[in-house]
Amino acid sequence: MAYPLDPTKYLDVRADLRQRLFDFAERAVQKEVALGRLTWEYLDVASTGGPAENATLPVIFFAGGAKLAIYSFAVIDALSQHNRVIAVSQPGCTTIQQHFDGVSLILQREGIDGFHVAGSSWGGCVAQAAALQYANRIERTILSSTGLPGGRAVSLMLKVYLASIRRAHPEKVVADFRKRALALLTGDADTDALWQGLFADVYDRHMTHGEYVSLIQTQIDYVDHYAKAVAQAKWPKPVLVIATADEVAGNKAWRDALPQAYPAAQVHVLERGGHHPALGAREEYRELIARFLGA
């Protein structure tokens, strides 16, 4: 089934951007698996140009902090130029391992052995942890608009924040996160209209207080149990890091930690694109990914 969108939410969006989103939603097959009380939604996206030489492995993509893969449609579209993409949304899990239990079920269901891994924003952190979890199965890694947050100070900050949102009014917590997420994606008037439409369509139907609390719990788990291991792993396989000079998310120290953790990585800093260069610097972004996956 294609991903369901409400066309009435996008009346103010520039026609070509609206069509790009709708075309993606039409070819993204929505699937799900259940394990215990949790359900993992994921998009199965076929390649648009057919497999290129050395580009036959699928890409497992991890969604960002808003949890649903559809928000990263432009990233997934770039990844699917020559590769099938399985784009995994994050359920209400509270640990990274719990998330990977569902991912393993998806891999089994789809008959996937070897694969590339990719993630954008918070999904980039999950992708780094996945490289540890599935080390013998992953060939290439793409980390976009992300960093390597870790340490006691970050852990304490997140735990204090978790306590505060548990006490706060649920509707205010969800509304505040919506506002912050949209602020990260601010670009020009045209892309702003697209994000406003997509959030009005999808966010209000899916994000709850409980979902947001579980996101912060998972982030604490990453900082406490994965960040140090990622930094020390000396990952030997090819890595592509894509950043932008006008990034607004996270902090510089987190972003600078990536090249240190992956000293052999290909690092590309685009002049523009903000937190979502797959839209803001579309052609450069697509070329970087196509070249890396086809190498």
- Whether the full predicted model's pTM is greater than 0.85, yes or no, is yes
More confident residue, 190 or 27: 27
Instruction: Tell me which residue has tokens 């990977």.
Output: 100
- The tokens describing 167, both together, are 């006490």
Instruction: Tell me which residue has tokens 């930094």.
Output: 231
The 10s digit of each residue's pLDDT in 184-212 is: 987 778 899 999 999 999 998 899 999 99
Check: CB of residue 143 under 8 Å from CB of residue 127.
Answer: yes
As a whole number, the mean pLDDT across the chain is: 94
The length of the chain, given as a count of residues:
295
Check: CB of residue 223 under 8 Å from CB of residue 155.
Answer: yes
Q: Which of the four pLDDT bands, split at 50, 70 and 90, describes residue 2?
A: confident
The 10s digit of each residue's pLDDT in 162-182 is: 999 999 999 999 999 999 999
pLDDT above 60 for 62:
yes
Number of domains the chain is built from? 1
Q: Is residue 255 part of a domain?
A: yes
Q: Which of the four pLDDT bands, split at 50, 70 and 90, describes residue 48?
A: confident
Q: Is residue 1 part of a domain?
A: no
Instruction: Tell me which residue has tokens 């190498």.
Output: 295
Residue 50's pLDDT is 63
Residue 226's pLDDT is 97
For residue 59, the cross-strand partners are 85, 116
CB atoms within 10 A of CB 30: 16
Buried b (16+ CB within 10 A) or exposed e, 78-111: bbbbbbbbbbbbbbbbbbbebbbebbeebbeebe
Check: CB of residue 76 under 8 Å from CB of residue 45.
Answer: yes
Which residues constitute the domain of residue 166? 7-294
Gap between the Cα atoms of 218 and 3, Å rounded = 26
Check: CB of residue 191 under 8 Å from CB of residue 279.
Answer: yes
Instruction: Tell me which residue has tokens 């079920």.
Output: 105
CATH number for the domain including 148?
3.40.50.1820
Gap between the Cα atoms of 223 and 209, Å rounded = 22
Q: Is residue 233 part of a domain?
A: yes
Residue 121's pLDDT is 96
Q: Which of the four pLDDT bands, split at 50, 70 and 90, describes residue 56?
A: confident
User: Would you call 182 exposed, middle or buried from its count of C-beta atoms within 10 A (0-12, 13-18, 19+)?
Assistant: middle
Q: Is residue 2 part of a domain?
A: no
Tell me the CA end-to-end span of the chain in Å, nearest whole number.
32
Q: Is residue 152 part of a domain?
A: yes
Specify the 3-state DSSP secondary structure of 185.
coil
